[in-house]
Amino acid sequence: MRWTTSHLQDLLVRLAEAYPDAHCALAHGDPFQLVVATILSAQCTDVRVNLVTPALFAKYPTPAKLAQAKILELETLIHSTGFFRNKARNLIGLGQALLERHSGTVPSDPQSLSALPGVGQKTANVVLSNAFGISALAVDTHIFRVARRLELSAGNTPGKVEADLCRLFPRDTWIALHHQLIWHGRRVCDARKPRCEECPLRDLCPTGTGRIEDPHSGKRMRKTRTVFPGA
């Protein structure tokens, strides 16, 4: 589907109206805590991470403390977030790298952030946008699914979807759009059972109107006519 500028604008307005309070769901008090929480959120829900981080942040409040953590104690604390061995190694490496390369502070440029242990492009973008207010559009599993269902992107990797979204939408919309698409994916555009009947984007959505197969499930929704307002 070819999205026109006015339809993209319409999409932004509808998302903003549907999710005016959309925000980062990972509890954090500073950039360091956000990096740690985002590393823990890989393959884990934000709710689960938020149950774990209060005790974690109390025990390791600074990169210096985290750098000196005993791996078994750290693994025990973060066990319930899954992949705990790998995450524990990355967290200790994160503390050490922040101390050695950045004087114990979290850098605010994409290259330095992405070079930290356990921090890929998605985590770097989450930290840039939420901790520093720098325009970035991290693509998580929800955004990946929603963007493909809306045919905003046919990319088969998060990086390709991110590039498409950044090309389609103005830079100053990226931070809000990131949160709104995640909330939409969690609340309406569910992975297994998207609630198309109540979706505020349905008439704009080629998947919800049954015009294309759901790129996520391969199934086709019940067909309705796609109506672009003003088209």
CB 106 within 8 A of CB 32: yes
Q: Which residue's CB is nearer to ligand SF4, number 137 or number 205?
A: 205
Residue of this chain nearest to ligand SF4 (CB atom) = 208
Question: In the bound complex, what is the minimum distance in angstroms from residue 192's beta carbon to ligand SF4?
Answer: 12
Question: In the bound complex, what is the minimum distance in angstroms from residue 174's beta carbon to ligand SF4?
Answer: 19
Catalytic one of 10, 46, 87, 140: 140
Q: Which residue's CB is nearer to ligand SF4, number 42 or number 152?
A: 152
Q: Which residue's CB is nearer to ligand SF4, number 72 or number 231?
A: 231
Binding site for ligand SF4 (CB under 6 A): 146, 149-150, 188-189, 194-196, 199, 201-202, 205, 207-208
Q: Could you confirm whether 223 is annotated as catalytic?
A: no
Q: Could you confirm whether 30 is annotated as catalytic?
A: no
Q: Is 130 exposed, middle or buried (CB count within 10 Å of its CB: 0-12, 13-18, 19+)?
A: buried
Question: In the bound complex, what is the minimum distance in angstroms from residue 200's beta carbon to ligand SF4?
Answer: 8
Question: In the bound complex, what is the minimum distance in angstroms from residue 137's beta carbon to ligand SF4?
Answer: 17
Question: In the bound complex, what is the minimum distance in angstroms from residue 6's beta carbon to ligand SF4?
Answer: 18
Closest CA to 80 of 45, 123, 119, 54: 45
Q: Which residue's CB is nearer to ligand SF4, number 36 or number 146?
A: 146
Catalytic one of 10, 46, 87, 122: 122
Q: Which residue's CB is nearer to ligand SF4, number 87 or number 145?
A: 145
Where in the sequence numbering do the catalytic residues fall?
122, 140
